[in-house]
Amino acid sequence: VRDMLHIPGPIAGVSGIRFTAKRIRHWRDKLGPQKAGSYLAQLVRMQEEIGTGGGGFRFIYGAFLQEAYAYHPLQELIDISSRFTRSGDIWRSAAVQAAGIYKGRIGSQADFNVMSDYLYAAADIEKQAFQALSKIKWPA
């Protein structure tokens, strides 16, 4: 929780998601459609295969919180679980959007804006989820 919300610097955690979202909006004009598409493809590769697991990890973490509810029946766990599931859906949609840009099926500035919007939405949901998780009063 701490690392997603309070890590120093703008390139990790929720701040890092927003940092990347902001830059994606400028990639098409700054880098050109082909290179920007390659950047997005690399982002998806790093996210899904090497990094946090992207949408898949969010689904697993949401399921973990549902399982934790069996041991600590706190309604907050179910609510937070659904937030992570929503975030996973957004990350998956972002990966599909990035693949479309990389493969040249889409590629207008509006498509890059949609990609950026997906990341901003995921960051907002995850920030709320991690804040709620940090406020849970665990039984002693």
CB 37 within 8 A of CB 104: yes
On whether the CB atoms of residues 3 and 13 are closer than 8 A, the answer is yes
What span, in angstroms and rounded, lies between the C-alpha atoms of 74 and 66? 10
Span 98-124, pLDDT tens digits: 999 999 999 999 999 999 999 999 999
Q: What's the pTM?
A: 0.92
Question: What's residue 105's pLDDT?
Answer: 96
Nearest to 115 by CA among 30, 41, 16: 41
Tens digit of each residue's pLDDT (9 = 90 or more) over 15-50: 999 999 999 999 999 999 999 999 999 999 988 777
